[in-house]
Amino acid sequence: MIAGEREPLLAGKKIVLGVTGGIAAYKAADLASRLKKEGAELRVVMTEAAAEFVQPLTFRVISGNPVHSRQFEEPRVWSVEHVALAEQADLIVVAPATAQIIACMALGLAPDLLSTVLLAARSPILAAPAMNTAMYFHPATQEHLSILRARGVVLIGPDEGGLACGATGTGRMSEPAVIAAAARRLLALSGRLAGRRALVTAGGTRERIDPVRYIGNFSSGKMGYAVAAALAAAGAAVTLISAPAALPPPAGVQFVQTESALAMREAVRERFAASDIVVMAAAVADYRPETAAAEKIKKSGGELVLTLTENPDILAELGRRKQGKIIVGFAAETEEARARGAEKLKRKNADFLVVNDVALPGAGFGVDTNIVSFLYPDGTARDLPLMSKKEIAGLITEEIVRLLPNDNKSAKENENE
Ligand code: C5P
């Protein structure tokens, strides 16, 4: 390598690129070229329909390898070939992913080489759905996508824009540069947190007023669940301690359901000593009713006064017993996010704080996107543009990998010494 030249980020990584039959198949050629330029050893598998859109020769030239598609092979070779491709892959990227291949993946169907490779896969899988808007929003496709998400398949897009059918809507394949970046991130992080234990909190706590009412907040849990999934994908053993959230627990994560701030505090305390990484993404209520009524409170015709008592600050308590752990906090603000965040970072003794102004459009509670800054104890900050919560979770994971001491000793090992 010439001095000053950086090593390609995917050097030596074996990537299988599955191309299915949509108009976006032509963009997969650009994606293949980007993956190849980053040093990946690329094998392309095309479905029969994909080969109608783009000549397999295109991918053969770009990848430097024969293209696997039905046109070139006898079906009986599949059984051997799919195992070899699936076993060797560090990552499988399906782009574009049609409704058809998404259905096959969700249901475990294997009618052709690509679906067979996917069924035999052991590596992470990244899929970039692309289809007509109606097909995308059809309940069947949506259910299949949630099955895949729950199994840990990373889905990128689809984006909104002009579609091949002439309409404008959701269904365009994400840009090849975005898919390539996601592939890089997945491979760069894979296994980097092996042997580490992570605790993640998520959701909004509920503080009971009586058996049927509570004080809550608008947190959906999306950010914390995405962080738990990203840490697990990087190899950490993750425990997700969740306040109520209408989301399926991510695959491969140990799940603990809690409700109130006090219950969450107990669950966190039990596991803190054995953890190397703690990410407090939960929106913990600062106050709870002093007493929860045993019976449903009846209307009295007059005023009802609730007395609230302050909840313990779980993060600040952990910060006091930090030792060598990496602690990440969140701060949702509605004004002066930066200044308030800096004060919290200090008070809670975190390694960095993810701050967002929940009043901005596209940021905060409920939505799939967020606009955040990372604040560090030395006063520096990293401002990120609007991105999906999953992408932010990937960046938080990268940051944790960067900050972890390199002694390769987990908290569990230190505890046993
Ligand atoms: O002070 P504030 O609630 O804005 O701090 C937010 C951060 O502190 C989040 O990481 C949240 O999970 C954590 N927190 C906590 N216990 C509380 C309140 C907040 O751990 N009682």
At 355-403, the pLDDT tens digits run 988 888 888 887 888 899 999 999 999 998 888 888 899 999 989 998 9
Other CB atoms within 10 Å distance of the CB of residue 8: 14
Say if residue 232 is in the same domain as residue 178.
Answer: no
pLDDT mean across residues, the chain: 90
Q: What is the largest CA-CA distance in the chain?
A: 82
112, 237: one domain: no
185 and 256 together in one domain:
no
Same domain, 145 and 270: no
Q: Distance between CA atoms of 211 and 209, rounded to whole angstroms?
A: 7
Tell me the best of 241, 264, 313 to mutate to test the pocket of ligand 1, counting ligand atoms within 8 Å of each CB and taking the most: 313
Is there a domain that residue 6 lies in? no
In this predicted model, which residue has the larger pLDDT, 388 or 45? 45
Distance (Å) from CA 189 to ligand 1 centroid: 28
183, 217: one domain? no
Tokens standing for residue 359: 């009043």
152 C-alpha to ligand 1 centroid (Å): 28
- 250 and 180 together in one domain: no
pLDDT value, residue 3: 40
pLDDT at 417 over 80: no
Task: Looking at the structure, tell me whether residues 19 and 143 fall in a common domain.
Answer: yes
Locate the ligand 1 atom nearest the alpha carbon of residue 282 and give its number: 12
Across 243-264, average pLDDT: 94
| Protein residue whose Cα sits closest to atom 9 of ligand 1 | 330
Closest C-alpha to ligand 1, atom 21: 313
What tens digit of pLDDT does each residue of 202-226 get?
Answer: 999 999 999 999 999 999 999 999 9
Confirm whether 4 is domain-assigned: no
Give me the CATH number covering residue 30: 3.40.50.1950
167 within some domain: yes
Q: Is residue 317 one of the residues assigned to a domain?
A: yes
Catalytic positions, written as ranges: 165
Q: Which residues line ligand 1 (CB under 6 A)?
A: 201, 261, 280, 282, 284, 286, 311, 313-315, 329-331, 344
**Other C-beta atoms lying within 10 Å of the C-beta of residue 23:** 16
* 283 alpha carbon – ligand 1 mean position (Å): 6
Number of domain units in the chain: 2
Give the pLDDT confidence score for residue 187 in this predicted structure.
87
Domain termination site, one of 150, 171, 189 = 189
Q: What phi and psi, each to the nearest 5 degrees, are found at residue 379?
A: 90, -5
Which CATH number goes with the domain that contains 363? Answer: 3.40.50.10300
Per residue in 147-191, pLDDT (tens digit) is 988 777 889 999 988 877 777 888 999 999 999 988 988 888 878
Respond yes or no on whether the N-terminal peptide bond of residue 96 is cis (omega within 30° of 0).
Answer: yes
- Rounded CA separation 288/180 (Å): 46
What separation in Å is there between the alpha carbon of 318 and the centre of ligand 1? 11
* Whether residue 172 sits in one domain with residue 84: yes
Distance of CA 127 to the CA centre of its chain: 13
Q: Give the number of other Cβ atoms within 10 Å of residue 298's Cβ.
A: 9
- Statement to judge: residues 208 and 165 lie in one domain: no
Q: Which of 363, 331, 332, 328 is nearest to 344 (CA)?
A: 331
Atom of ligand 1 at shortest range from CA of 201: 12
Query: Residue 382 and residue 384: Cα distance in Å, rounded?
Result: 6
Asked if residue 197 has pLDDT above 90, the reply is: yes
Higher pLDDT, 330 or 150: 330
CA atoms within 13 A on the CB side of 49: 16
Instruction: List CB contacts of 346: < 8 A, sequence separation 6 or more.
Output: 377
Task: Provide the domain limits for residue 395.
Answer: 197-292+299-406
The two structure tokens encoding residue 238: 């993750």
Return the residue whose CA atom lies nearest to atom 2 of ligand 1: 331
Residue 32 identity: A
Q: Report percent pLDDT > 90 for the chain.
A: 67
Q: How confident is the model at residue 412 (pLDDT cuts 50, 70, 90)?
A: low
Residues forming a β-bridge with 241: 201, 256
From the alpha carbon of 315, which atom of ligand 1 is closest?
A: 20
Band (4; pLDDT cuts 50, 70, 90): very low
Residues 279 and 327 placed together within one structural domain of the fold: yes
Q: How far is CA 222 from CA 234, 243, 282, 361, 390, in A?
A: 18, 12, 10, 16, 9
CA 213 distance to own-chain centroid: 32
pLDDT beyond 70 at 27 = yes
Are 102 and 228 part of one and the same domain? Answer: no
Does residue 161 share a domain with residue 205? no
CB 411 within 8 A of CB 197: yes
DSSP letters, 273-331, are TT-SEEEE-SB--SEEESS--SSPPPP-SS-----EEEPP-HHHHHHHT-TT-EEEEEE
Element (H, E) at 214: strand 213-215
Which residue among 171, 189, 207 closes a domain?
A: 189
Asked if residue 415 is part of any domain, the answer here is: no
135 located within any domain: yes
Residues in contact with 268: Cβ distance below 8 Å, sequence separation at least 6, in sequence order:
199, 201, 241, 278, 314, 318
Q: Give domain status of residue 414, yes or no.
A: no
Task: Answer yes or no: are the C-beta atoms of 239 and 271 closer than 8 Å.
Answer: yes
Residue 69: pLDDT band with limits 50, 70, 90: confident
Q: Is residue 351 included in any domain, yes or no? A: yes
